[in-house]
Chains A and B, each alone.
Chain A
Amino acid sequence: MADKEKLGNFTPENAPEYEDVLQCMRCGFCLPTCPTFALTGRERSSPRGRVSLARAVAEGKLEFTEAVKEEAFFCLDCRACTTACPSGVRAGEVMEICRSQAHQFFPLKHVSKSFREFVLQKMLPNPDLLETSMLPARLYQKLGIQWLVRHSQLLKLGPEWVDKAERMIPELHPPLRPQLADVIPAEGEQRGRVAFFLGCIMTLMYPEVSRQTVRVLTHQGFEVVTPKEQKCCGAPHLTEGDRDTTKLIAQHNLDLFMALDVDAIVTDCAGCGAALKEYEELLEEAGEHDKLATFRAKIKDVSEFLAEQGLRTEGLKPVKKIVTYHEPCHLCHAQGISKQPRELIKAIPGIVYREMEEASWCCGSAATFSLKYTTESQQILNRKLENIRATGAELLVTANPGCHLQLAWGLKQAGMIQEVVHITELLGIATG
């Protein structure tokens, strides 16, 4: 790494590849798909503008300024532009790399820096520590969230975030990870053996959703293996620009899961799935190409997996509901999984499915975006809520905890009736 040639005004550590920014031919096809461009009308807040800024830094025409940093973090990393880009430019990934650069150019002040490092490098990679640390949050109704408030410097959050964060957190149950047996046998005729990748947010905030995921998988005939030593997928680190820790975690998970004899590695968190599928690029330098390619091929979002295997519908109970589906960015844009969840929903007897307008438009959650840019996030959310309202649906199905939090909170705020469920919860209801 250190002997890498410096690219323009980027630092040599974790810099973008020049080809990746040169690839943009500025056709503007990304502009109408970008939520932050739709919001601001500002070219520099569009994928084309952001890539151009990165290119200017790479060509030494611009220093890595505060504005470049601001755009790197203002990007939702929703990847809608990646889907829209015919030339294969990945503006979201370029911005992730720029976030890492931003930390090198604008180091955090000592206290916030050590706290951020503690969370990203010690706490998140260590599930036991993480679960203990959530105890105060679990008791937040009693204790308040002063603990979090005191550390609001952590992610450089805006002043309104505390209030919002408090109201967003769902009723918490004990983390799922310690409760899951290492191996849970399949029911009925066994169709295969899968490993379950249990995301941090899922085990901590939505343990009951992931419990349904495991239950649905076993009901569908799959033996489920959940290795307890698994760590965070690394997505929060990438999002916050800590690429070095991401690589350490990724290597650990890669080795752990590749040692298992399983047909697939299934996750019910779109964010985790996207991050796991990107290990191949992330760990490229390590040179284990075959192993990485096999790993990538095994990673399956639960919808992707069940649609591929074919849903066993015999015995499913009718669910008499009008349902619509919000596509998580990290499922449809980052992983290209769009048809599969709809197929599964429609396969459940009794369901009336109604497609919403702009189903693949970001909900404004986007990791810590919703806490950092509360106003902008709310505007993006409002657009989504209007589209949900227009369907007249009773249930809103999604497949990612970030979207789940944001949408459930938004619907409640707006006094709307829709209940948010993860797709495996819906399948769980049908499973009985």
Chain B
Amino acid sequence: MISETAIQILIDKLGKENIITAAEDLLVLGYDSTPGLHATPDLVVYPTDSEQVQSVMQVARDHKVSITPRGSGTGLSGGSIPVDGGIVICLNKMDKILEIDEENLTATCQAGVVTLDLFNAVAAKGLFYPPDPGSQKISTLGGNVMEDAGGLRGLKYGVTRDYVMALKCVLPDGSLLSTGGKSVKDVAGYAFKDLLIGSEGTLAIITEITVKLIPPPQDKRTFLAYFDDISIAGAAVSKIIAAKIIPSTMEIMDKATINCVEDYVKIGLPREMAALLLIEVDGHPAMVTEEAEGVERILREVGAAEVQVAKDAEEAASLAAARRTALSALARVSPTTLLEDATVPRSMLAETFTLIERLTKKYALTVGTFGHAGDGNLHPTVLCDERDADEMKRAHAFYDELYEQVLAWGGTVSGEHGIGIAKKEYLARQIGPGGVAVMKRIKQAFDPEGILNPGKIFADGQE
């Protein structure tokens, strides 16, 4: 529990309207989008600037209360869930875009800016911020950086990490740290910035972010290809890349996903197909034409059942939007949706699909798979009911076995969602006890008291 004195200090520093104590509010600020996880904070604060974040951190330190940062709560590994109660610090009110620098091609914004708002603001100036996680309409930049969010454009344009140039953050000792800058080159000392990206809110609280912008592609072409057999889709992905074509997007959906998405968007996706690929090539018009021809040729060669070209930008946008709804649309089938984030080297994609199919049968589950095929980043999603203990056990056995093989192939247990609470057990399997020990020492160096976002990344007693 938090003492009255601590609450009073927070009220003095942040104003009464930014301190939340009502039970009903606390109840809805202790979840994210990870199924089955929920905890209730003792107090929630909404700082409006870096100094206020420092004040909150100071109070947490002085009163030995844990503090968990939160954006819009769209995370998929439980990173913003206050497992020990304490203070949840919501950065949503720090939502100003501070600068769009057209000479240096950068944008600087506060941590609570919504991803799509930044995208639109820079697009209005003829610039492009590529990272586009599924929840971009509501996810915050701070959350994107902390989880190193990916998205549909990862294959060609990379992920959030590839765009962060500078960060301002508050460390657990209450000090303000600035790292990185607008310089393209910067090798001064340890790359703190890179350590903070993807640190899941365990090392510092980000207050300000400077990102790199690029000129937008002048042209693009969007394809939808359907397949009778999902492994043919896997082969198509490998062949396109082997032909030295890097599409900006190469997304896959299996039959279950196609049907759920179609139930929601009703744009006439063929329900009988085993898989579809959504492929987009972009860039200079001449290159787009050439690459589009290449993609189309390969799709026909490998034996796609049907290939369609989006007739205009509007249709292309509606296809991408449909893909973004995949996860939530799958959720309509069953009360509980367990989503994973297995990622393999691209060349293993077809094998991974075969494995998922085999395990689905073995554990008698309903599984929908979709994901960023071009990145080897798949989201096998178990559609189940958390009230059915046996089914939940089988679901966990499914993931256990899947991850064992994914790691054997040199893949990772998390491509873009983070470890959080949900995947702590798997981390040690991937990086080994030595890796965990180094990570824990880093955590120790930043946060010796362990007040910042406790209970994440490392399992208890894990060494």
A29 to B337, CA, bound (A): 16
Number of interface residues of B (CB under 8 A): 34
Q: By the criterion CB–CB under 8 Å, are B31 and A52 in contact?
A: yes
Q: Which residues of A contact B32 (CB under 8 A)?
A: 26
Q: By the criterion CB–CB under 8 Å, are B92 and A68 in contact?
A: no
Q: By the criterion CB–CB under 8 Å, are B28 and A86 in contact?
A: no
One of B58-66, B325-333, B424-432 contacting the partner? B325-333
Q: By the criterion CB–CB under 8 Å, are B332 and A87 in contact?
A: yes
Q: By the criterion CB–CB under 8 Å, are B335 and A43 in contact?
A: no
Within 8 A of B (CB), among A44-85: 44, 48-49, 52-53, 56, 61-62, 65, 67-68, 71, 85
A58 to B178, CA, bound (A): 46
A61 to B31, CA, bound (A): 15
Q: By the criterion CB–CB under 8 Å, are B335 and A19 in contact?
A: yes
Within 8 A of B (CB), among A1-46: 19, 22-23, 25-29, 31-32, 41-44
A224 to B135, CA, bound (A): 48
Q: By the criterion CB–CB under 8 Å, are A29 and B31 in contact?
A: no
Q: By the criterion CB–CB under 8 Å, are A42 and B33 in contact?
A: no
Within 8 A of B (CB), among A319-371: none
Q: Which residues of B contact A56 (CB under 8 A)?
A: 27
Q: Which residues of B contact A68 (CB under 8 A)?
A: 24
A88 to B73, CA, bound (A): 20
Q: By the criterion CB–CB under 8 Å, are A28 and B29 in contact?
A: no
Q: By the criterion CB–CB under 8 Å, are A26 and B31 in contact?
A: yes
Q: By the criterion CB–CB under 8 Å, are A28 and B138 in contact?
A: yes
A324 to B93, CA, bound (A): 33
In the complex formed, the residue of A with least CB distance to B35 is A25
Q: By the criterion CB–CB under 8 Å, are A29 and B137 in contact?
A: yes
The answer to whether residues A86 and B24 also contact, given A26-B32, A29-B135 and a CB cut-off of 8 A, is: no
Shortest Cβ gap from A30 to chain B (Å): 9
The 8 Å CB contact of A29, one of B27, B92, B328, B332, is B328
Chain A 411-427 per-residue mask, 1 if CB under 8 angstroms from chain B, else 0: 00000000000000000
B25 close to A (CB within 8 Å): yes
In the complex formed, the residue of A with least CB distance to B134 is A27
Q: By the criterion CB–CB under 8 Å, are A28 and B135 in contact?
A: yes
Q: Which residues of A contact B138 (CB under 8 A)?
A: 28-29, 31-32
A56 to B24, CA, bound (A): 9
A43 to B92, CA, bound (A): 11
B72 close to A (CB within 8 Å): yes
A49 to B24, CA, bound (A): 9
Shortest Cβ gap from B3 to chain A (Å): 25
Shortest Cβ gap from A81 to chain B (Å): 12
Chain B 420-443 per-residue mask, 1 if CB under 8 angstroms from chain A, else 0: 000000000000000000000000
Shortest Cβ gap from A235 to chain B (Å): 26
A48 to B114, CA, bound (A): 17
B377 close to A (CB within 8 Å): no
Q: By the criterion CB–CB under 8 Å, are A43 and B73 in contact?
A: yes
The 8 Å CB contact of B28, one of A19, A27, A44, A85, is A44
B23 close to A (CB within 8 Å): yes
Q: By the criterion CB–CB under 8 Å, are B331 and A25 in contact?
A: yes
Enumerate chain A interface residues (CB-CB to B < 8 A).
19, 22-23, 25-29, 31-32, 41-44, 48-49, 52-53, 56, 61-62, 65, 67-68, 71, 85-88
Q: 14 other contacts beyond A27-B135, A32-B114, A86-B325, with CB at 8 A cut-off?
A: A28-B72, A29-B325, A31-B72, A32-B137, A43-B25, A44-B24, A44-B28, A52-B31, A56-B27, A62-B24, A65-B24, A67-B23, A86-B331, A87-B329
Enumerate chain B interface residues (CB-CB to A < 8 A).
22-25, 27-29, 31-33, 35, 46, 72-74, 92-93, 114, 135, 137-139, 261, 263-264, 325, 327-329, 331-332, 335-337
Q: What are 13 A-B contacts with C-beta separation under 8 Å?
A: A25-B35, A25-B328, A26-B31, A26-B33, A28-B72, A28-B139, A44-B27, A53-B24, A61-B27, A62-B23, A62-B27, A68-B24, A86-B261
The 6 closest A-B pairs by CB, nearest first: A86-B328, A87-B331, A86-B325, A67-B24, A25-B331, A49-B28
